[in-house]
Amino acid sequence: MTSQLLPTRRAFPADDPIFALNAEAMARRAGGGSVLNATVGALLDDAGRLVVLDSVMALWRELTESEVAPYAPIAGDPAFLKALVQRHWPLLEGPGAACATPGGSGALALSLRNFLEPGQRVLTTAPHWGPYATLASENGVGVRTAPWPAAGVPLDAEAWRTALTELARTQGRILVWLNDPCHNPTGRSLSREDRTALGDLLREAAAAVPVTLLLDFAYLDYARDPGAVAEALKDYAALGGEGQVLVGAAMSLSKSLTLYGARGGALAFPWCGDPALQAALTQSCRGTWSNCARAPQALVVRLAREGKAQARLAAEHRHWSDILAMRADALDGALAAEGLAPLRWEGGFFVLASVSNPEAVCARLKTEGVFTVPLPEGLRVGLCGMRADEASRFAAALRKASTL
Ligand X SMILES: Cc1ncc(COP(=O)(O)O)c(C=O)c1O
Binding site for ligand X (CB under 6 A): 41, 103-105, 129, 179, 184, 216, 218, 252, 254, 260, 265
Residues belonging to the chain: 404
DSSP per residue, 55-82: HHHHHHHH--HHHHSSPPPTT--HHHHH
Environment class of 90 (CB within 10 Å of its CB; exposed 0-12, middle 13-18, buried 19+) = exposed
Nearer to ligand X, 41 or 358 (CB): 41
C-beta contacts of 129-138 below 8 A and 24+ residues apart = 129/179, 129/184, 129/185, 129/216, 129/218, 130/17, 130/18, 130/373, 130/375, 131/105, 132/108, 132/177, 135/105, 135/108, 135/109, 136/112, 138/109
Environment class of 10 (CB within 10 Å of its CB; exposed 0-12, middle 13-18, buried 19+) = exposed
Instruction: Tell the smallest beta-carbon distance from residue 16 to ligand X (Å).
Output: 11
Nearer to ligand X, 251 or 395 (CB): 251
Instruction: Tell the smallest beta-carbon distance from residue 104 to ligand X (Å).
Output: 4
Instruction: Tell the smallest beta-carbon distance from residue 213 to ligand X (Å).
Output: 15
Nearer to ligand X, 22 or 179 (CB): 179
- Paired sense of beta strands 373-375 and 378-382, if any: antiparallel
Instruction: Tell the smallest beta-carbon distance from residue 101 to ligand X (Å).
Output: 8
Nearer to ligand X, 216 or 316 (CB): 216
Cβ(338)–Cβ(396) below 8 Å: yes
Rounded CA-CA distance 353/326 in Å is 17
Instruction: Tell the smallest beta-carbon distance from residue 373 to ligand X (Å).
Output: 12
Measured in whole angstroms, how far is the alpha carbon of residue 356 from the centre of its chain? 25
> CB-based contacts of 60: which residues, under 8 Å, 6+ apart?
295, 299
Buried/exposed 135-148: b ≥16 CB within 10 Å, e otherwise: bbeebebebbbbeb
Instruction: Tell the smallest beta-carbon distance from residue 251 to ligand X (Å).
Output: 8
Nearer to ligand X, 115 or 349 (CB): 349
Nearer to ligand X, 115 or 129 (CB): 129
Measured in whole angstroms, how far is the alpha carbon of residue 26 from the centre of its chain? 24
Instruction: Tell the smallest beta-carbon distance from residue 307 to ligand X (Å).
Output: 26
Nearer to ligand X, 214 or 397 (CB): 214
Instruction: Tell the smallest beta-carbon distance from residue 252 to ligand X (Å).
Output: 3
Instruction: Tell the smallest beta-carbon distance from residue 184 to ligand X (Å).
Output: 4
Residue number, nearest CB to ligand X: 103
Nearer to ligand X, 145 or 184 (CB): 184
> CB-based contacts of 300: which residues, under 8 Å, 6+ apart?
80, 83, 84, 253, 257, 264
| Cα–Cα nearest to 183, from 363, 20, 344, 392 | 344
Environment class of 99 (CB within 10 Å of its CB; exposed 0-12, middle 13-18, buried 19+) = buried
Measured in whole angstroms, how far is the alpha carbon of residue 227 from the centre of its chain? 19
Q: Is 146 left (phi over 0), alpha (psi -120 to 50) or beta?
A: beta
At 302, which helix (H) or strand (E)?
helix 294-305
Nearer to ligand X, 168 or 262 (CB): 262
Instruction: Tell the smallest beta-carbon distance from residue 374 to ligand X (Å).
Output: 17
Nearer to ligand X, 252 or 284 (CB): 252
